[in-house]
Amino acid sequence: MKEIIASVITIGDELLIGQTIDTNSAFIAQQLNGIGVRVARRVAVGDQESEIRKALDEESALADLIILTGGLGPTADDITKPLLCNYFGGKLRRDQATADHIEWLFNEVYKRPGALLPRNQQQAEVPDNCTILPNPRGTAPGMLFQKENRIYISLPGVPQEMKDIFIGSVIPFLQKNCKTPFFIHKTMLTAGIGESMLAEKLVDFEETLDRSLKLAYLPQYGMVKLRITATGEDQPTLSQQIETSFNQLKALVSEYLVSDKDEKLEEVIARLLLEKQSTLSTAESCTGGRIASMLTAMPGSSNYFKGGVVAYANEAKESLLGVKHSTLSTHGAVSEETVREMAKGVLEQLTTTYSIAVSGIMGPTGSTPDKPVGTVWIAIANNNTIKTRRVQLGFDRIRNTQQAAIIALDMLRQFILTKSLD
């Protein structure tokens, strides 16, 4: 069974100047890895014909599958389609199914008045030597070429359009036409221990790990994912090996284990709250709604998250959360006393089972000798108990905010689990 090697080429000046963040190649790599295709290289090039050609030549020498995204729009800087037509020796032709789809989009979905512009109609012109990959959401279809036992796939740069074509057309084509080794992943999420400390703790485990398995450390803000990957042709044996090693790994990191699934912390919180039929509210100062945003990004969050208060100024803490003026005057906004009152206030205002309160100094200004930048107080509360913690973060403002949100959510997770055992 031959390993399939892939390269991803993303096209666009906006990627090279940092105006747009490339999420397409990450999605493509995840999807390909899931079907046993290994992405060896990811390359970004600008809207220059010579650079795109050079990338195609170089990746063709290394990979069996080359996937391109971007440069398929209706404007002058979208040069990928005519370039590919020339590169593979084809001629542009009008595809009637694509033309009909474009007309339907403009008339029925976009509700655009007037006739289609010529530049929109030209989106239906495709190389006569490609396989068309329909784009259900947009006007630019994907294109698949085959040359010298290599597969080339060109997709729109708009993320949602690219994803729809990839899942609807690319994956089925590759699964049907490419026989690949099995890739099996199992991932767990840990918190409360850094990557280097984890690695030190797992030295003996890694030394005895079967050669068909690989352990990867995936650090995040305040958390580390541990992923074991099994690669080979005997799926039943691989499944048994990875399950045994995964269970051994869980036992070794049990003190820090958040989840034995590949999921986000907010997904763990959601599941816990739903299982307990509990609700949550938040009172945020320094995190500015970051915690509430993470929670509400989850579908169905209205079943357990009632709402949050962003009380940044002291006046808001007093008027919205009932924090005493004397508390703020005596102890300051960044103090255990203040977050306790914030947590209690939002708990009462929104009548929830649990609440989170956060107040801190994210920087680069606002510090005092006894409260340097990165000082954060967090409180977790229910009707009977308030748990507080002071943390000292040492990063920039954005990272401090993200880290504080993660720590607060993990404190909530531990609080819920501990109270369940009481």
Q: Which has the closest alpha carbon to 336: 400, 386, 284?
A: 386
What three-state secondary structure class fits 225? strand
Q: Are 285 and 360 in contact (CB under 8 A)?
A: yes
CATH architecture of 4-177: 3-Layer(aba) Sandwich (3.40)
In 10 A of CB 303, how many CB atoms? 12
Domain ranges of the chain: 4-177, 182-259, 265-421
For residue 302, count CB atoms less than 10 angstroms from its CB and return exposed for 0-12, middle for 13-18, buried for 19 or more: exposed
Q: Does domain 265-421 have CATH number 3.20.20.450?
A: no
Q: What is the pLDDT along the chain (422 residues), one digit of tens a residue?
A: 578 999 999 999 999 999 999 999 999 999 998 888 999 999 999 999 999 999 999 999 999 999 999 998 888 778 999 999 999 999 999 999 999 999 999 988 888 888 888 888 899 999 999 999 999 999 999 999 999 999 999 999 999 999 999 999 999 999 999 887 778 899 999 999 999 999 999 999 999 998 889 999 999 888 999 999 998 888 898 899 999 999 999 999 999 999 999 999 999 999 999 999 999 999 999 999 999 999 999 999 999 999 999 999 999 999 999 999 999 999 999 999 999 999 999 999 999 999 999 999 999 999 999 999 999 999 999 999 999 999 999 989 999 999 999 999 999 999 999 976 55
Concatenating the DSSP letter of every residue in 146-210 gives EETTEEEEEE-SSHHHHHHHIIIIIHHHHHHH----EEEEEEEEEESS-HHHHHHHTHHHHHTS-
Question: What is the structure's pLDDT at 186?
Answer: 95
Buried b (16+ CB within 10 A) or exposed e, 112-132: eeeebeeebbbbbbbbebbeb
What φ, ψ does residue 20 adopt, rounded to 5°? -125, 135
Cα first-last separation, the chain:
54
Question: What is the structure's pLDDT at 419?
Answer: 72
What three-state secondary structure class fits 130? coil
Q: Which has the closest alpha carbon to 344: 322, 371, 367?
A: 322
Cα(398)–Cα(162) distance, integer angstroms: 30
CATH fold of the domain at 182-259: Alpha-Beta Plaits (3.30.70)
Length of the chain, in residues: 422
